[in-house]
Amino acid sequence: MNPLARLLAKRLATSLIVLIGVSMLIFAIARIIPGDPARIALGPNATQEQIANLRADLHLDDNIAVQYGYFIADVARGDLGISLYTNRPVTADIALYLPATLELVLVAGILMVGIGLPLGIWSARWRGRAADNVIRLISLLGVSAPSFVWAVILMLLFAFYLPLFPIAGRISDSYAIAPVTGFLLVDTLIHGDVRAFGNAAWHIILPAFALSLSGIGQAARLTRANMVETYDKPYIEMAQSYGFSARRIANRYAFRPSLIPSLTIIGLDFAAMLGNAFLVEAIFAWPGLSRYGVAVILRKDLNAIVGTVLIISATFLLVNIIVDLLIALLNPRIRYSQRPA
């Protein structure tokens, strides 16, 4: 087996163990809930008999290990149960709301990589100079406020005072786009509606930027720190004595080794963004998982809470596997080890 495939197999196995652990953790949290979920679901007018029936349906009278067994068997069949809040399958609810959140997080992730890495490279190349200090200060400010504060500030500046961007939503009401993937930026293109695509892109810029600001700061800070260390290495001095341009040295020789730690932190930041999306969505009235997630938490809707957290964690583990594979691809020690000497 080649090393990449082996790495992938190993990572998938570990992730599966971790995911089972997450499911136990979330399940345990959900079952220490005070109050009877069946009574909450049926409301104050339910009879004892109705409550008893629902409790039996939900296996609430069995011991917790048996309950977990029922739960994991259902999950394996792709069944996360019925949401007591919307009365629909949890998977259907999540399928409805998750694409909007994922789209927001993915665009924010692109901004994080597309802005954060170049800022870090610049900062390291001009280390000690004015440009470096400005970038360091901006990156530190970026990580120093929660994304909802950035969302409020950006909205006030660029949607109210300078009305450049829309205030809320994913797309203007005048566009009716039949969902295919649920990602508006993709669906509009599938339908060949370029103006709708532009409209959706225009809507996503501010929320995605607010969400990505702390990630941009993290990525820039870490890239700079690693590159500054690399600049002390003899091979950089050699490249300098060869007369390579400062730009080439920065982009090719000093940046390469720091790419791997940067990618690791980007993976972690992506996880944080999946959570922080809740905050940004609330400000920009973005129709994603946020409102659903908060609503089910406040209503103690067990199936929905467990399902939502499980899906988010699975997404996060998937992203981390992708990041690990990217690192393996970029790391010559792993990349070349498959070739026979």
Partner 1 sequence: MKRTLAILTANPLSLLGLVLVFVVVFSAVFADFIAPFPEHAGAVVDFANFNQPPQWPYIFGTDLVGRDLFTRVIYAYRISLILGIVVLAIAVPIGVSIGLVAGYLGGRTEYVLMRLTDVFLSVPPLVLAMSIMGVLKPTLANGMLAVTVMWWPWYTRLVYNITRGEKEEGYVLAAEVIGASRLHIIFREILPNCVPAIVTKMTLDMGFVILIASSLSFLGLGVQPPTPDLGSMVADGAKYLPDSWWLTIFPGLAILVAVFGFNLIGDALRDILGAEQ
List of residues contacting partner 1 (CB under 8 A): 14, 17-19, 21-22, 25-26, 29-30, 32-34, 137, 140-141, 143-146, 148-149, 152-153, 155-156, 160-161, 222, 225, 261, 271-272, 274-276, 278-279, 282-283, 293-294, 296-298, 300, 305, 309, 312-313, 316-317
Q: Which two tokens stand for residue 271?
A: 């996880």
Which of 18, 180 has the CB closer to partner 1? 18
We find the least distance from the C-beta atom of residue 62 to partner 1, in angstroms, to be: 19
* Alpha carbon distance 12, 25 (integer Å): 20
At its nearest, how many Å lie between partner 1 and the CB of residue 193?
31
How many Cβ atoms are within 10 Å of 181's Cβ, its own excluded?
A: 12
Question: Is the separation of the CB atoms in 122 and 135 below 8 Å?
Answer: yes
Nearest-approach distance from CB 195 to partner 1, in angstroms: 28
- Whichever of 124 and 200 has its CB closer to partner 1, that residue is 124
CB contact at 8 A, 165 and 158 = yes
Sign for the CA dihedral angle at 178, 184, 186, 189 comes to positive
Smaller CB separation from partner 1, 240 or 264: 264
Q: With respect to partner 1, which residue has the nearer C-beta, 159 or 236?
A: 159
Q: Which is nearer to partner 1, 249 or 277 (CB)?
A: 277
**Distance of closest approach, residue 135 Cβ to partner 1, in angstroms:** 13
Tokens of 213: 């600001």
The residue type at 247: R
Distance of closest approach, residue 204 Cβ to partner 1, in angstroms: 19
Residue type, 82: I
Handedness of CA 144, 111, 149, 134 (dihedral sign): positive
- Going by C-alpha positions, the residue among 157, 162, 151, 269 that lies closest to residue 204 is 151
Q: How many CB atoms lie within 10 A of CB 136?
A: 19
- If DSSP codes are grouped into helix, strand and coil, which group holds residue 82? strand
Contact call for residues 184 and 177 (beta carbons, < 8 A):
yes
Q: How far apart are CA 34 and CA 32, in angstroms?
A: 6
- Shortest Cβ distance from residue 282 to partner 1 (Å)? 7
User: In terms of CB distance, is 52 or 143 closer to partner 1?
Assistant: 143
Of 213, 324, 174, the C-alpha closest to 264 is 324
Length of the chain in terms of residues written:
341
CB of 197 to partner 1, least distance (A): 28
| Tokens of residue 266, six digits | 């980007």
Comparing CB distances to partner 1, the nearer of 39 and 191 is: 39
Q: In whole angstroms, how close is the CB of 338 to partner 1 at the nearest point?
A: 27
Nearer to partner 1, 91 or 240 (CB): 91
